Amino acid sequence: MANQESDKFVTITVDGITARVPPGTLVIEAARQIGVMIPHFCYHPKLAPDANCRMCLVEIEKIPKLQTSCSTPVAEGMVVKSSVPNVEEARKSVLEFILANHPLDCPVCDQGGRCDLQDFSHEYTPTTGRFKELKRIFPKEYFSPLIETQMNRCIQCLRCVRYCDQVMDVQALAPSGRGTMTEIKHFSIHELDCEFCGGCVQICPVGAITSRLSMYDFRPWMLKRADTICTYCGDGCQITIQTKDNELIEVNSTHGAGRNNGDLCPRGYFGYHASVHADRLNHPLIRQQDGTYAEVTWEDALELIAERFSQIKLAHGADAFGGLITSRCTNEELYLFQKFMRVVLGTNRIDSSARYGHINGIQALRRVQGTHRWTVTYEDIVAADTLLLVGTNITETNPITGLKVKEAVKKQGAALITIESLLPIRGTISNITTLASHHVPVHPDYFGLAVLGLIKSVLEQGLATASLSERAPTFVQSIRSAVGKVPWETVERHLGLGRDTFVEAARTFSQAKRVIILAGQGVLRAPQGSDVVTNLLDLLILTGHHGRPGCGLGTLAEENNDQGAVEMGAVAEYLPGPSELGDQTARKNLSKIWGDEIPQSPGATLMDMLEEARTGRLKAMFIVGENPVATLPPQAKVEESLDGLEFLVCQELFLTETAKRAHVVLPACSYAEKDGTFTNTEGCVQSVRRAMEPIGESRPDWEVFSALSLLMGNPIEYGEAKEIFKEIRSAISGYGLLGPSATPPRIKDEVVDRYLQEGFKTDVEVRYAFEQENTQPDEMLTLASVQSLFHSGKFSTRAKGLLQIQASGFLNVNPVDATRLGLADGDPVRLSNTRGEATTKVKLLDRVPVGVAFFPEHFDQNIRGLFSLETDPQTRVPYFKLTRVRVDRMQEEIPGKG
Amino acid sequence: MLLEKHQELITELLSRYPVKRSALLPLLNLAQREEGYVSEAAMKEIAKILDLTPPQVYETATFYTMLNLKPIGKFHIQICKSIMCGLVGSDDLIQWLQNRLGIRVGQTTGDRLFTLSAVECLGSCGTAPMMQINDDYYEQLTAEKVGRVLEDLRREGTSPLKSGPFMFPQPAGSR
Ligand code: SF4
Ligand code: SF4
Ligand code: SF4
Ligand code: FES
Ligand code: FES
């Protein structure tokens, strides 16, 4: 690989300037590095050269004909000329041919002002053309609800097609026809059905593919731009929000920018309207006697809160309070929230949405290797030679991390092992298991068992690293004996896969040089989540990969700042750092910075707070942006808990199911209206920048905490978000070197040693035990509530663009099950189990495993009641994503849904 | 459908190439032989067989003019319009055919018997003007001869005036 030869360079000159570049560099790139821009259309650094447009022709000494610089690699001593007359002449001819057909309708083209063709035409062509023939005209065809094509403008560079294939692995676009009449289509006359990542819109050098969400709404130079971070998942893509007169017009991302390198998913590209939905709260509200809300001023609302908080504190003590905050907030807000709860109210009873699963991964990482973050980065994923994905439909949950995996496999030829319930079948959106070299199809209940199978196979084949038996003999023996207690027959009975399935995967995994494990929601949000992650770390240790450069385990965060929420100490068990609540050094350090005591009492997690609210121990809650009423299943009795409170304050964008139960509702700003930082799933701290003025009277969350503290006589004041960040950096030394890439921590050897000698013993038997005997009656299906590519939580269900792709929930079932149960696509069905029943419609999907049905969690209002609820005894994570249901076809249509 | 009917042949076709998708053209050809044209259902099925997406199959299907994407008549008349045939009067023949059949190039007769296409050189310039109907060549054409061919086909379903097929190797599916 090029890395190993990085000391070798090739010297070439371009227009008289010398460039020293690694061998293999393309001439066009070498030129770019020394500031010579060679005009091009079909070339894009993300795509394999296609050399179809001929715009990039250059003269290379000793080669008789002009060469395409986009496909010619450098050679020692090469002399390239890019601005000599015959090159300019060639460019003119290329443009003349393109313009023979291009309509030049720049005045009505959304690309006008940022169009390569416009720019190059301006630079290189005479104002007249020699073509007298009629221009080619394609009849206008409807393409899709979100993406529009205007094929008369197409210059046939095929960037869109290649992007959709090479980067996205979706292959939704086809150049149809031939010659001049080539046009970009989906499948025949059918409207586009794809991932809607917007990539083709972004990569088209002209205005042939545009976004319908902003069509004809702007000229690029009218837009105000702000580079910020998407809030729809833990990947943390950099997006550029573009506004006109405080109105959101468009979102895109620049090639080379952010951790996503300019790639986005549909949520990022088309989901931006959620934050400016008409239902946004514009004023603070106070609930009246009759249950209605009155709009009040901020002063009145804050004064009431301060007064009631103070009364309750006086009457019942600090631990009568509970705080819950969404991990969609910035680090600054999460930090300030916990500081407010700890210092002003005086309680450690704080939790955030990281509790829904992310905390499971963090606890395992801390326990085994002493880090709370990944020790690897996206770059390491791309450079890995073997990847193991466990319990993650990564395309839909973390699409950009998914792109890194795709890049590793497709471009670098990495081996991919997937332990996933999806079947490796292609469809209109990509499916990571189709790229797997070893796919282990697993029922969503049994990811842990499959991991056990892999470890068992590693040990059986003698693939465990030899040195480990000396370093930690008991560790190896204990695991060996523990997995020995689960015979292959048990594995086979539950997974339907026996020893043979694991042999190759175990070998590939063990013999790899750079291995990365990614664990997803299927692991983190299911029972024993933390144990399975711990076992996966065991696997890394056993195979000798743990601690090796480029090797490591990453957990995939669902929400954009799950990672930050934990690091800011906005969870029950941690102070900022995160440091254990009882860590004396951390406490001392913090109380010095805060100039205040840190409460002694223990923290309380979400489920504990809800419980205490029901028993009357908790009197007041401060809920910021979280909506437990609509998130947890009914048997969590969230409503009952909240209604029993003496005082509930909600700070929200919308009047959610939870906010509707509050005494005071405060209007918060969306991410687009504030400054701060988010920490993504790989631990990269990135800047969030205000793109527009706050809507109505809404205010950034941190300002509200600050204002309240003032009123409560314990001021924690900051002028702007940056000042909070400064304080964070003193509380957590070196926090967030805001750089272009993540700076992963190193594993702590002393922690690993402690784990290998003693730590593992406490639960090794339990972690590797398998007791579950879930037999599923034939007429039942396992129902899994899963994340969709087109949505994120409930927030995105207010984005008009995303609603055009997916507006409601439906039950995805395998055609085999459908036939067995007598169901056809679109049939109304009744789901039922002992907890209740619900109705929905069926949609057949090949990749859903037999015996399982998927339902998008974003639309689970009606079906939530069917799920079981179980709280992790250790990490207190509530699990409510899996259940079993009977599925019956309904005779009549579902009213109002037909 | 395709797979059900031609399981063996398809397995054999796939075995010819190291990469699955290389079997795309033979499969498209097979589909066309089956229905006279490549239907959407066939393209979808081929995509599935080859692990491609339907748009990828569509891309190739639209590139080759020999593949019909719409149903055609029982007899597909492909008359050469390239230069050699042009020099010896193919234009007139095309005109004559249009008049006789009452359709224009690209159309199918109402009884779904004939579809008329004008195509590029079919490699039989030495015997120009010429046309191909289904798998057979008809050479050194005159209006009179074409008329007889049409009559034969209408009546018998075949014509002794044909000089083909000269296809080599044999098309897939004909064995
Ligand atoms: S928006 Fe659709 S067609 Fe365009 S690149 Fe993305 S997946 Fe492909
Ligand atoms: S639509 Fe745009 S990107 Fe695609 S081929 Fe045409 S010009 Fe190129
Ligand atoms: S939802 Fe995730 S992957 Fe999609 S644009 Fe936002 S951060 Fe990126
Ligand atoms: S950019 Fe080189 S040929 Fe298109
Ligand atoms: S030109 Fe008609 S067959 Fe060659």
Q: pLDDT at position A893, please? A: 59
Q: Is A172 in the pocket of ligand 1 (CB under 6 A)?
A: yes
CATH number where B7 lies: 1.10.10.1590
Number of domains in chain A: 4
Owning domain of residue B118: 75-156
Q: pLDDT at position A1, please? A: 42
Indicate whether B161 belongs to any domain. no
- A770 has pLDDT over 70: yes
Looking up tokens 């009364």, which residue turns up?
Answer: A311
Tell me, yes or no, whether B109 and B53 share the same domain: no
- B174 has pLDDT over 90: no
Is A277 buried (19+), middle (13-18) or exposed (0-12) by CB count in 10 A? Answer: middle
Per-residue pLDDT reduced to its tens digit, A142-177: 999 999 999 999 999 999 999 999 999 999 999 999
Rounded distance between C-alpha atoms, residue A823 and residue A843, angstroms: 9
Candidates B47, B53, B58; nearest CB to A176: B58
* Average pLDDT score, chain A: 94
Tell me, yes or no, whether B103 and B50 share the same domain: no
Indicate whether A334 belongs to any domain. no
Query: Which chain A residue's Cα is nearest to B58?
Result: A187
Find the helix or strand (DSSP H, E) in which A521 lies.
helix A521-524
Q: Is B43 in Cβ contact with A174 (below 8 Å)?
A: no
Residue A165 DSSP code: I
Task: Count, in order, helices (H) and strands (E) of chain B.
Answer: 7, 4
- A309 has pLDDT over 60: yes
Percent of chain A topping pLDDT 70: 97
Find the helix or strand (DSSP H, E) in which A225 lies.
strand A224-229
For residue A128, name the pLDDT band (cuts at 50, 70, 90): confident
For residue A2, name the pLDDT band (cuts at 50, 70, 90): very low
Tell me, yes or no, whether B48 and B79 share the same domain: no
A196: nearest Cα among A260, A261, A144: A144
Task: Tell me the best of A38, A42, A80 to mutate to test the pocket of ligand 4, counting ligand atoms within 8 Å of each CB and taking the most.
Answer: A42
Residue A64 DSSP code: S
Q: Is A42 in the pocket of ligand 4 (CB under 6 A)?
A: yes
Three-state SS at A852: strand
- Write a three-state SS string for A571-595: ECCEECCCEECCCHHHHHHHHHHHC
**Cα-only R_g, chain B:** 17
Q: pLDDT at position B102, please? A: 96
Tell me, yes or no, whether A145 and A257 share the same domain: yes
Number of domains in chain B: 2
- A672 has pLDDT over 50: yes
Query: Which chain B residue's Cα is nearest to A178?
Result: B63
Find the helix or strand (DSSP H, E) in which A622 lies.
strand A620-624
Task: Report pTM.
Answer: 0.94
Percent of chain B topping pLDDT 90: 89
Indicate whether A562 belongs to any domain. no
For residue B155, name the pLDDT band (cuts at 50, 70, 90): very high
Per-residue pLDDT reduced to its tens digit, A841-867: 999 999 999 999 999 999 999 999 999
Q: What value does the mean pLDDT take over residues B57-61?
A: 97
Q: What value does the mean pLDDT take over residues A518-532?
A: 96
Indicate whether A618 belongs to any domain. no
For residue B1, name the pLDDT band (cuts at 50, 70, 90): confident
For residue A734, name the pLDDT band (cuts at 50, 70, 90): confident
Tell me, yes or no, whether B151 and B103 share the same domain: yes
Q: Does B62 touch chain A (CB under 8 A)?
A: yes
Mean pLDDT lowest for which of A40-49, A591-600, A766-775?
A766-775
For residue B170, name the pLDDT band (cuts at 50, 70, 90): low
Indicate whether B144 belongs to any domain. yes
Triad A371, A376, A378: Cα angle to 5°: 140
- A739 has pLDDT over 70: no
Of B15, B38, B63, the residue that ends a domain is: B63
For residue A740, name the pLDDT band (cuts at 50, 70, 90): low
- A320 has pLDDT over 70: yes
B145 and B138 Cβ atoms separated by less than 8 Å:
yes
Indicate whether B69 belongs to any domain. no
Mean pLDDT lowest for which of A71-85, A685-699, B158-172?
B158-172
Tell me, yes or no, whether B140 and B117 share the same domain: yes
Q: pLDDT at position A895, please? A: 56
Residue A705 CA to chain centroid, in angstroms? 28
Percent of chain A topping pLDDT 90: 92
Give B-chain residues touching A428 at CB under 8 angstroms: 53
Rounded distance between C-alpha atoms, residue A801 and residue A253, angstroms: 17
Q: Is B55 in Cβ contact with A185 (below 8 Å)?
A: yes
> Which of A165, A168, A176, A194 to mutate to test binding with chain B, by most B CBs within 10 Å of its CB?
A176
Rounded distance between C-alpha atoms, residue A135 and residue A848, angstroms: 48
Mean pLDDT lowest for which of A214-223, A272-281, B165-174?
B165-174
Per-residue pLDDT reduced to its tens digit, A11-68: 999 999 999 999 999 999 999 999 999 999 999 999 999 999 999 999 999 999 999 9
Owning domain of residue A61: 2-83
For residue A898, name the pLDDT band (cuts at 50, 70, 90): very low
Candidates B47, B62, B65; nearest CB to A176: B62
Rounded distance between C-alpha atoms, residue A195 and residue B53, angstroms: 13
